[in-house]
Amino acid sequence: MTDDNLDELKDEIESVEKGVRRRVELGTRAMVIAVSVMVVLIGLTLPWMRGVTGWEVLLGTVTGKATMVPRLFSGTSLLFGVLASMGALVTQRWGMVWIGALGGWFAAVDGVLAIWSRQSSTDGLGLGVGLPVAEIAVVVIAVCWFRTAWSRAPGGKQPTHLVPRLNRDN
């Protein structure tokens, strides 16, 4: 082999390594996230208030101040819980994992506020079963994405100083 061939081989190995470092292996978490995405979609079809489904809340067919936070949660659960999760599952890129993690937690906090606003409102619509179902699924998605995101340190190396000694590979 000549030096030119070795340089080409080295460049090719480095480009493959760079591509592998950008990808994330989800393992069984991918199935948990996929099932949770389905549960969010099911939660959007169930009633969130008396006679009003999550899709109707998202589309704004219900009016009033007490429906603003549930409307925001329906949007964030769809955006981060469903679309960002699907994007991260398909692309398997670390950037999408972080978007799913941070956005998922924003949606989870927003979901708690949406449940609270429905329970404390006096408009007579009450709280339906779909809102808590979607909230639980969004929390599961956010936990899975955060565990995945924190499993790798910046630069693509395992954070061995954060892992207990018994769990180390060496």
Q: What is the DSSP string of 140-152?
A: HHHHHHHHHHTTS
Burial status of residue 64 (CB atoms within 10 A of its CB: 0-12, 13-18, 19 or more): exposed
pLDDT digits (tens, 9 = 90+) for 118-153: 888 777 777 889 999 999 999 999 999 999 888 875
Give the pLDDT confidence score for residue 119 in this predicted structure.
Answer: 83
Q: What is the mean pLDDT of residues 155-163?
A: 52
Whole-angstrom distance, CA of residue 4 vs CA of residue 169: 37
Q: What is the mean pLDDT of residues 28-53?
A: 93
Provide φ and ψ at 23, rounded to 5°. Answer: -95, 155
Q: Is the pLDDT of residue 66 over 70?
A: no
Give the pLDDT confidence score for residue 22 in this predicted structure.
Answer: 62
Q: Assess contact for 125 and 49: CB atoms under 8 A.
A: yes
> What are the respective helix, strand and coil percentages of the chain, to the nearest 5?
70, 5, 25
Q: What is the mean pLDDT of residues 83-90?
A: 94
User: Which two tokens mark 133?
Assistant: 């179902």
What pTM does this model have?
0.78
Q: What is the DSSP string of 68-115?
A: HHHHHHHHHIIIIIIIIHHHHHHH-BHHHHHHHHHHHHHHHHHHHHHH
Whole-angstrom distance, CA of residue 77 vs CA of residue 108: 8
